[in-house]
Structures are given as structure tokens and as C-alpha cells.
Amino acid sequence: MAQFSADSWTPAVNVLTWFLLVTAILSVITRLGTKYWIFRKFTEDDYLSITSLVFCAAQSIAVSMATANGYGEHYESLSTSNIEQMMKSLYSANILFVFSMCFSKLALISFIDNLTPASTDHRIAVGLKIFTLIWAGIGIITSAFQCKPPRTWDYLYGKCFNIHAWWDYLGTTNILLECGMIMQAMLVIVRIQTHMKKKAVLAAVFLLRVAVIIMIICQLVYARQTSESPDLTHETWPVAISTQLVQSLSIVTACAPQFKPFLDNLRSTGMRLGGMTSYGHSQKEYGSYSVTRGRSRRVTVPSDTHELVPLPEQDAHQTTVTASRPSLGWDAESQSSQTHIIHETRTWAVTEVRRASVVESCK
């Protein structure tokens, strides 16, 4: 539609939708670039973020198509064909929204799970993933069949269930999931052995997720206020904008922990992302110290070893004590690393003595 009415919300919804999509794309690109620059590889949460972005882009296109058919204009100014195309686009957008939210949540849960090897944290992550998949499955099925087939998209004229109750369910369970993810991150951060200032910085990154909760609440409030409106094509614009903000903020806040300032703070505490260190090397030995700068320089310093080996006698045992210095890499920065490691090796000698009677009988 080339012409807009004076009080039309079509341009605002369309422009904001594309702006938020670009923001989400830049966040994912920054995340992937930072991850590859530091670790030279991608992990499971990166692929989940890419999948979420794909669904976000598809959902944004669907909303843009709805605005092209008059969403944001007054109902009486639209033709029947425009209304039908608009409803089909919004129907697709709702389903794609749930998909995008599902994968962005899974990406953040997987990232937090990779920060710690503790079995308790792993069980919490598994529980949150299952809850997320159940939430998404119910949301997608109910959204796909909100109205009686074959016109499942016809929420204006078709026979549909209580869509207002559906928004309440989707938003409430969405908030519960967000709270669970924040608690998951806080449980990991409080156990990090570092000073409070650094813990506060790490916690602040995950607490950005509160912005998603705020927008979900706005989404619920606006959906309740406009559910009985006679002009749904015009009055529901706050719901559309809130939905786009929820989707975009979910992706951005899931990517924020992967930005370089946060990763630097995370690495300074001695924690690792899935056992990875910079440039993809996993430091598992205490006998060497590796420093990598740029792409080509590597310095290796061997450890000092001292052995105390007494001369064994026939009926004595041998004891070897080895002291070695730990790696001066990442683990040296952690408060849990040890100063020296003592290895003790014992060797026992067995002497066979024959009885004299046995020897004489043999003669």
C-alpha cells in the first residue's frame, strides 16, 4: 500500500521490524567473529544462535508482508483480500516467533552449561532444555491450530479457541523459562573463585536477560488490552512491536556473553568454554607453559624436575619423589591451581631364598 492514513502504524511496525532484525544479525555476526578469532572453532551454542537468527529473519519477513497488506491500518479501510493475506502472514509470524525464541534460549542454556563441568549444573541445563522444548512444542502446535481447519489462520472470522488465553500461557511460561536461565547463570557465577567486582561484571551480562522479561510482560499487557478491540488490524500494533522486541532482545542477550569483553573477564577467572583455550588449544598438562601471540609465535618453557633416588638393598624398596612446576597458563591464574605437584613412585624388590634341605636333596 503506497498511501498511509494519518494515524497509521504500518510504517512504524515495518521499520522497527527491519531495524531489530539488523540488530540481531549484527549481534550474531559479532558473536561468531569473536568466537572464531579466539578459539578458531564454533560450538553447539553458536549453531543454535544461527538457527534462531534464521527463524527470526523469516518471522520478520512475515511481519513485513503483513504490513504490506495493511497491518497497522484501520480495519474498514482494507479489502477482503488484503485482510486474508495479512492474517496468513501474522499466522506464520507467530509460529516462527516460537521457533526463534526456542533456539535462542537453547543457545544460552548450552553456553552456560559449557562453562562448568559440575554434574549438578549439567542436570539443571538438561532440565531447562527439556522445559524449553516442551514449551516450544506446545506453543507451535497450539499456534498452528488456533482456529478450526482448513482456515487455521483466520482469527478474525474463523472458529478459534481463546487466543487471549493462549497469549497468557505463552508469555507466562516464557517468563518462567527466562527466570530459570538467569538462575542457572547465577548459580555458576557465585561459585567462581574471584573477587566480587569481577563476579558483578559477569552477572550483569546475564542479567541483561531481564530486558526480555520486561518486554514479555509488555506483550502480555498489550495483548490483554486489545483482545476485544473491534479494530484488530490497527489497535494491536503494540503487541506486534513488543513481539519483535522480545525476539530481537532474546538473540542479542544470548550473544552478549560471547562478546570479547565478557570472554576476557571469563578467562581471567580461570574458567574455560567447554575446555577450550585461546586459538583452540586445550591445556591439559602441567609440564609446559605455552604463550600464543598473534598467529605464529609460541614459547615453550619446560618444567623443572628433581628426583631423590636412594640406592636399593636386596630387601628394601625404592622411593622416587618428583616435584614439577605447574603450567603458567590459564590454570595458574585460577586460585584453585596448585604450586607444586609431588609424585611418589615406590619399587619393591623380592629376593628368593631356598632352604638348605631342598638344596641337599637336589644333590
Highest mean pLDDT among 10-14, 163-167, 266-270, 303-307: 10-14
Position 21 pLDDT exceeds 80 = yes
Is residue 297 in a domain?
no
Arithmetic mean of pLDDT, 97-115 = 94
| Rounded Cα gap, residues 108 and 111, in angstroms | 5
Arithmetic mean of pLDDT, 16-22 = 97
- CATH for 51: 1.20.1070
C-alpha cell recorded at residue 82: 488484503
Band the pLDDT of 278: cuts 50, 70, 90.
Answer: very low
Position 282 pLDDT exceeds 70 = no
How many domains, the chain? 1
Give the residue among 330, 322, 321 at the shortest CA–CA distance from 288. Answer: 330
Is residue 180 in a domain?
yes
Res 163: pLDDT: 82
Is residue 339 in a domain?
no
Is residue 16 in a domain?
yes
Res 276: pLDDT: 56
Res 164: pLDDT: 84
Percentage with pLDDT > 90 across the chain: 48
Band the pLDDT of 7: cuts 50, 70, 90.
Answer: confident
Is residue 358 in a domain?
no
Position 355 pLDDT exceeds 70 = no
Please tell me the number of Cα atoms within 13 Å of 139 on its side-chain side.
25
Band the pLDDT of 349: cuts 50, 70, 90.
Answer: low
Q: What is the mean pLDDT of the chain?
A: 79
C-alpha cell recorded at residue 67: 504490513
Position 183 pLDDT exceeds 60 = yes
Arithmetic mean of pLDDT, 19-33 = 95
Band the pLDDT of 352: cuts 50, 70, 90.
Answer: low
Per-residue b or e along 314-351, where b marks 16 or more CB atoms closer than 10 Å to that residue's CB: eeeeeeeeeebbbbbbbbeeeeeeeeeeeeeeeeeeee
194-199 contact pairs (CB < 8 A, 24+): 194/268, 194/269, 194/335, 198/265, 198/268, 198/269
Percentage with pLDDT > 70 across the chain: 73
Arithmetic mean of pLDDT, 285-307 = 39
Is residue 203 in a domain?
yes
C-alpha cell recorded at residue 198: 569481577
Band the pLDDT of 202: cuts 50, 70, 90.
Answer: confident
Is residue 291 in a domain?
no
List pLDDT tens digits, range 40-59.
889 999 999 999 999 999 99
Res 110: pLDDT: 94
Question: Where in the sequence is the domain holding 83, given as residue range(s)?
Answer: 9-263
Res 334: pLDDT: 43
Residues in CB range of 278: below 8 A, 6 or more apart: 38, 39, 267, 292
List pLDDT tens digits, range 135-182.
999 999 999 999 988 999 998 888 888 888 888 999 999 999 999 999
List pLDDT tens digits, range 242-275.
999 999 999 999 999 888 877 777 766 656 565 5
SS3 content of the chain, % helix, strand, coil (to 5): 60, 10, 30
Is residue 3 in a domain?
no
- The per-residue DSSP string of 243-280 comes to HHHHHHHHHHHHHGGGSHHHHHHHHHTT--BTTB-GGG
Band the pLDDT of 345: cuts 50, 70, 90.
Answer: low
